[in-house]
Amino acid sequence: MASQPDATAGNLFAGLPPTGEAEEQFVQLLQRPGLVIERIVSSGQASPPGFWYDQPRAEWVLLLQGEALLRFADEDEARRLRPGDWLDIAAHRRHRVEWTAADRLTIWLAVFHGEEGAPPRTAVGAQHS
């Protein structure tokens, strides 16, 4: 019988930063060719004015906890995300985080897929809203 690969396990809600942390927290959970899975924890952060993500990989993102406003450059209104909401964002579709709740943690599960390369971390100078 062929041996099974080692299993990697964890808990998405373990090791969370305190509410109000100045920096977003990025934890890489898994990386494979063409795939990176990260947990992102926000607490009042937003993209800097005028900044848009333009990523070389597609990103499937699920909001697990908290609340956020996500804006796409080609849409007039920001989308309000609540727990359970998910989006599959095409590579190079310009988007930004307009707002995350400052009074509680906003926890995202991000799955970067497609072209290889490290996913972007955070916008330089990400700000609390």
Domain with 64, as residue range(s), is 28-118
Q: Per-residue pLDDT tens for 36-49?
A: 999 999 999 999 99
Q: What is the CATH number of the domain that holds 62?
A: 2.60.120.10
Domain count, the chain: 1
**Domain-located, residue 38:** yes
**Domain-located, residue 19:** no
pTM: predicted TM-score of the whole model, two decimal places? 0.83
What is the C-alpha to C-alpha distance for residues 23 and 26, in angstroms, rounded to an integer? 9
Tell me if 100 sits within 8 A of 122, measured CB to CB.
Answer: no
pLDDT range class, residue 21, cuts 50, 70, 90: confident
Measured CA distances, 24 to 8, 37, 56, 97, 122 (Å): 24, 16, 21, 12, 8
